[in-house]
């Protein structure tokens, strides 16, 4: 298995000289002139001259012959106009486009100039992450052929190496390793990342990590008993060994347990392919459904970040709910009455609303575990509803239960997302979003989905998970993140959201 890794002082370097001989070109993020961002002293006049020659340099990335930089080539990558409504994503996008343009120009040893901009406190970190994102090569391409697209990369900030900038680079490399891991899982095709293959990949990735333990539940009898809603979704897939459901528990424990002040329990939707089941997807809507495992991928990626950066104050459990929503003679169908782990009966109404069922029993188990933990907070992360994307475009919808809302948790996530170029939109779970999930027939505690609902579909999905997951009865903080819009759709690569937001909000980064 070919691992795509960036290692400081091996293939990643902090550079102090913009004319260093061992690079074949320089990438400069070009800010609007009115921001008056200082440029490296060697190229100030050069930028002035080319801006007079071609104002287009402030619109699209361009390549110039420049004697004042390494390799004699300079890529100018503009942010475009920056208004008070813009966030740090303008830097991420400029760095990503600039690196992509450098690669297209044939550079193998690019040097990125990443200035510290007062308007964006985390701009250097986000800019480096944007540049590294442009270097990503999908796992199956890496396994098929030698696809390394660089020899080494340099990052230039000041004319001397500072501890602060080195820390920024180290954080960026750790986060990008985590995002590569998540993208590999989310972007792998339905066979390369079938449930059994994800288990194999996760075990391989965490091999040797002493602060990580992994528990895989693959006995179908155990899954049927302890995760009955997940088992129903997986029924049609169970005659294919590699497609059978798995529940993967990844635990991060810091070396000094007495320093822990918060416990995170994250449940990720890992539907490796969603046909819609008996309520089959039609009109071409099935294409792209291998990305329905992006929630589980993000959970695994967050645990990877913890294993590298080793936050001393967190204890973390990540649960990957892996299954495939297949079609077959044993498909679960609408009208079935299922008994969840919580003991509540759930009437199936649409087999294409399988994600909430896949996660529900794990949420309840986490609520049981949380009672014994210090300051627990449960998350669900899932590409759950098209409604979230319809409402918020390529942004993540964050929804708190009443306990998490009391601490304004989604608001804090929104702040962290704005600092890390991962947009978060706060949605409020209201009483009707819980009530609409109540059973309609005698003896039914809950309906899987109210098929008459005309609005608030992403909020009512959170309401279902709250009601079936036991978080209300136990007064546990719970936040649901619907990443259907933010996870990345074909032909774009997976984004690995919301790993950066979670790492920022929960202070995983080294300071």
Half-sphere exposure of 317 (CA within 13 A, CB side): 22
Contacts of 280 (CB under 8 A, 6+ apart): 286, 327, 352
Distance of CA 174 to the CA centre of its chain: 14
Task: Find the radius of gyration of the CA atoms of the chain.
Answer: 24
498: cis peptide before it, omega within 30°? yes
**How do strand 337-339 and strand 345-347 relate by DSSP bridges?**
antiparallel
User: What's the longest Cα–Cα distance across the chain?
Assistant: 80
Q: Phi and psi for 89 in degrees, rounded to 5? A: -60, -20
3-state secondary structure 324-391: EECCCCCCCCCCCEEECCCCCEEECCCCCCHHHHHHHHHHHHHHHHHCCCCCEEEEEEECCCHHHHHH
Enclosing H/E stretch for 236: none
Q: Are 376 and 449 in contact (CB under 8 A)?
A: no
Q: H helices of 54-122, where?
A: 89-104
Would you give the DSSP letter of residue 8? Answer: B
CA 484-485-486 angle, to 5 degrees, is 100
Would you give the DSSP letter of residue 239? Answer: T
Cross-strand pairs, 8: 12
d(CA 254, CA 313) in angstroms, rounded, equals 7
CA 416-419-425 angle, to 5 degrees, is 55
Q: Which residues are marked as active site?
A: 281, 356
Convert 117-151 to b/e letters by CB count within 10 Å (16 or more is b). beebebbbbbbbbbbbbbbbbbbeebeeeeeeebe
Contacts of 282 (CB under 8 A, 6+ apart): none
How large is the angle between the packed helices 163-187 and 195-206, nearest 10 degrees?
A: 160
Q: Helix, strand or coil for residue 429?
A: coil
Cβ neighbour number for residue 426 with a 10 Å cutoff: 16
Distance of CA 342 to the CA centre of its chain: 29
Q: Are 341 and 365 in contact (CB under 8 A)?
A: yes
Residue pointed to by tokens 């903080």: 477
């Amino acid at each position: 298995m070919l691992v795509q890794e960036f290692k400081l002082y091996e293939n990643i370097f902090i550079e102090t000289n913009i004319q260093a001989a061992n690079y074949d070109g320089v990438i400069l993020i070009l800010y609007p002139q009115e921001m008056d961002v200082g440029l490296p002293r060697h190229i100030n006049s050069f930028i002035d001259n080319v801006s007079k020659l071609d104002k287009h340099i402030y619109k699209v990335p361009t390549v110039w012959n420049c004697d004042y930089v390494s390799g004699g080539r300079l890529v100018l990558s503009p942010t475009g106009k920056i208004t008070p409504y813009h966030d740090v994503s303008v830097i991420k996008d400029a760095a990503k486009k600039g690196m992509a343009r450098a690669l297209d120009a044939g550079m193998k040893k690019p040097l990125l100039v990443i200035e510290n901009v007062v308007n964006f406190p985390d701009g250097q970190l986000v800019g480096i992450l944007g540049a590294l994102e442009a270097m990503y090569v999908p796992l199956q391409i890496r396994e098929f052929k030698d696809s390394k697209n660089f020899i080494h990369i340099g990052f230039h900030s000041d004319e001397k190496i500072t501890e602060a900038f080195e820390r920024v680079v180290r954080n960026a490399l750790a986060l990008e390793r985590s995002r590569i891991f998540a993208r590999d899982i989310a972007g792998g095709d339905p066979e390369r990342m079938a449930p059994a293959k994800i288990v194999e990949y996760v075990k391989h990735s965490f091999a040797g990590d002493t602060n990580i333990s992994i528990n895989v539940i693959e006995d179908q009898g155990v899954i049927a008993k302890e995760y009955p809603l997940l088992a129903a979704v997986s029924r049609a897939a169970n005659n294919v060994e590699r497609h059978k459901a798995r529940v993967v528990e990844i635990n991060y424990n810091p070396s000094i347990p007495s320093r822990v002040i918060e416990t995170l329990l994250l449940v990720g939707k890992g539907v490796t392919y969603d046909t819609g089941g008996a309520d089959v997807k039609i009109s071409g809507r099935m294409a792209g459904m291998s990305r329905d495992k992006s929630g589980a991928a993000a959970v695994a990626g967050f645990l990877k970040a913890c294993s590298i950066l080793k936050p001393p104050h967190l204890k973390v459990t990540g649960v990957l709910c892996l299954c495939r929503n297949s079609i077959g003679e044993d498909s679960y169908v609408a009208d079935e009455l299922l008994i969840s782990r919580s003991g509540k009966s759930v009437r199936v109404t649409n087999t294409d609303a399988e994600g909430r069922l896949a996660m529900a029993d794990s949420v309840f188990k986490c609520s049981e575990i949380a009672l014994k933990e210090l300051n627990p907070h449960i998350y669900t992360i899932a590409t759950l509803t098209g409604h979230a994307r319809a409402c918020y475009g390529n942004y993540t919808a964050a929804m708190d239960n009443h306990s998490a809302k009391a601490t304004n948790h989604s608001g804090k996530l929104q702040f962290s997302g704005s600092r890390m170029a991962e947009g978060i939109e706060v949605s409020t779970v209201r009483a009707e979003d819980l009530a609409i999930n109540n059973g309609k027939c005698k003896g039914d505690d809950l309906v899987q989905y109210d098929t008459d609902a005309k609005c608030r579909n992403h909020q009512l999905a959170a309401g279902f998970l709250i009601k079936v997951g036991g978080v209300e009865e136990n007064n546990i903080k719970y936040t649901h993140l619907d990443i259907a819009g933010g996870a990345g759709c074909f032909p774009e690569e997976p984004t690995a959201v919301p790993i950066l937001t979670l790492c920022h909000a929960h202070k995983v980064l080294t300071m």
